[in-house]
Amino acid sequence: MSFDAGFDTPLERDGDILRGPLRHPRQMLGDQEYEGHASIHDDDMAADLGFSGAPIEGPTHFSQFVPLCAEVFGQDWFERGCISSHYQNMVVEREEVRACVEVPATGATTTRAWAEKADGTPVLEASVSIGPDHGETVLDARRAKLRAPERLVILEDIQVGMKGKADETVSMGLDQHMGALYPFTLAQKLERITERSPMYDSDSPWGGPVIPLEMISVLTEHTGHSAGFPVKGPSVGLFADQEIKLINGPIMVDTPYVIRRQVVAVSESRRTESYWTMATVHDAATDEIRCEALLNHAVLKDSYADYPKD
C-alpha cells in the first residue's frame, strides 16, 4: 500500500503470516475505580478473586494490530476498519505480547488475527476487516452460539433491548482526564503506547490528530455508567469480548460525539454473568454514525457477596 501511517514498527512476514514485534504493554488502570471500589486491574482485588495478577486492559493490545492492518488494508483501515476480538488469557505487566495477522487474498476484506505471549500462550483471537462488507466477524459467530442464561442474579433486572437513559456527549482532548474509570489522559497514554504514530498527536490526512484504536474504547466506556443499566453491586467485571468497527472514521481528537447505548445480548458462564452492549458513536454536528463499539461486560459471580452459594 502507498499509504504511510508513520509507524516505525518492524514487521516480519512468514508465508501468509504477518507478525509484529514482541512488546511489553503497560498497565495504566491500577488506580481505576468504579462503584466506589477498586477494579480487577488492582493487584489486591485481582488476588482476592483468584487471579495471578492484575490484568492489563484488553483493548491495550489493539494498538499492536494497527501497523499490521495498515500494511494489509492501507488508509481504508483508519476509515472503515474493524477488529472483533475474544479475549482468551490475561496479560500482566512485564509479559511480552506479539500481534499476528493472516495476509488475505488480493481483494479480500476480512482475515484472521491473533495475539500471543512470548511462550505461545494465546492472548486473544480476532478477525480484522474493512467495510462496508465485513463478513462474519469473530463476535458475530460467538453471539450466534449464545444460549439463554438459566438464572441470573447480578443481572436479573437487565433485558435485551434496554437503552441508555440518555444520549452521552463525549470528546477526548490530549490533556483531558477521562474520569475514575480511566485515570489517565491521552497524552499519558501516548507516552506508553506500544505503537506510536505521528497521526496520534499531530496533523493527519484527515486534518487533525487521530484517537488511537485502543483509546476508542476509553471514549465509549468512560461515560458508560450514565447509561443506568441495573447491575447489582458491589461487583467486579472485566471485558471478555470486544469489537470496534469504524463506519466513517477515523475518530478524531477534540471532536464532539454523541453515544447511544443498548443491551444487545445477555449470557452466562460458570464464573460470570454477561451483558453485551452496543455503543453507536455519532458525529455531534450531523448525527452521522462514525463508529460502533460492541462490548461483553462479564461480571464475576464470586465478586458479588450475595451470590447464592449453590
Q: What is the pLDDT of residues 25-73, one digit of tens each?
A: 988 776 544 455 444 444 555 445 455 556 789 999 999 999 999 999 9
* pLDDT value, residue 281: 98
pLDDT: which is higher, 157 or 56: 157
Q: What is the pLDDT of residues 225-259, one digit of tens each?
A: 889 999 998 888 888 999 999 999 999 999 999 99
Domains and their CATH numbers in the chain: 12-303 (3.10.129.10)
pLDDT band (50, 70, 90) for residue 2: low
Q: What is the pLDDT of residues 122-150, one digit of tens each?
A: 999 999 999 999 999 999 999 999 988 98
**Which cell goes with 255?**
471532536
Average pLDDT, the chain: 90
Q: Give which of 112, 66, 62, 70 is closest to 91, Cα–Cα.
A: 62
* pLDDT value, residue 47: 46
> Residue 226 contacts by C-beta under 8 Å, 6 or more apart in sequence?
164, 165, 166, 168
Segment among 102-116, 206-220, 228-242 with least mean pLDDT: 228-242
